[in-house]
Amino acid sequence: MTSPAENTDVLSPEAQVTITGRNVEVPEHFAERVNSKLAKIERLDPTLTFFHVELQHEPNPRRESESDRIQITATGKGHLARAEAKEDSFYAALETALAKMERSLRKVKARRSISRSGHRAPTSTGVAAAEMVAEAQKAREAQDQYDVDPYADSVKDVIPGQVVRTKEHTATPMSVDDALSEMELVGHDFYLFINEENNRPSVVYRRHAFDYGLIALADESQ
């Protein structure tokens, strides 16, 4: 079921919003709540042009406290942000997912506002550094609690060391700084990209606090 944002009496974002329910109907009052919340998220990044919200109910008695899952994907100009949460109700899952997305967007906004030298750690004031450390800790705690592999129950006869999931994505060349922003937006601890400086595959990853690392393949021709 897809519920577009059409009610003009409810606060809605400028971006297009699609709400999809899997194994669940999306009531109008809940769709209105989603649109109202996304309108506030949109203020953090006015470049966002599309929101996709997916609701899924998992009728598993052993996971009753995490039976309702919400995933929010926000797409902007050349980037996207994603947050997911599982709770005992869709209302609670919505609040948790929105909080995770808000933290990610605020973190990227703060990082971009701090002056940088190349791709070194931010040269900011102690206050800014402390705030980013706190945000990183909150994001990590939320991710550890709610990020569950959706394919875990579908893999049979699991043998340690198997590759159980393969994912491919397009690789548009970008700067190290842009790769760090993309990593924060999708909520991962690493990000694979093509470095525009040398056109080689590279990986940025999270180290301690607000520090980052960079892994690049060596040029064997040199």
Q: Is the pLDDT of residue 167 over 50?
A: yes
Q: How far apart are CA 121 and CA 118, in angstroms?
A: 9
SS3 78: coil
Q: pLDDT by residue (tens digit) across 2-30?
A: 444 444 456 788 889 999 998 888 888 89
Question: For tokens 């060391």, what's the residue?
Answer: 161
Q: Residue 9's pLDDT is what?
A: 56
Q: Is the pLDDT of residue 213 over 50?
A: yes
SS3 17: strand
Q: Which domains does the chain have, with CATH numbers?
A: 16-147 (3.30.160.100)
Question: For tokens 């609670």, what's the residue?
Answer: 92
Task: Give 166's pLDDT tier (boundaries 50, 70, 90).
Answer: confident
SS3 181: helix
For the packed helices 126-146 and 90-113, what is the interaxial angle rounded to 10 degrees?
150
Q: pLDDT by residue (tens digit) across 110-127?
A: 766 664 444 444 444 455
Q: Which of 207, 181, 175, 205 is nearest to 108 (CA)?
A: 181
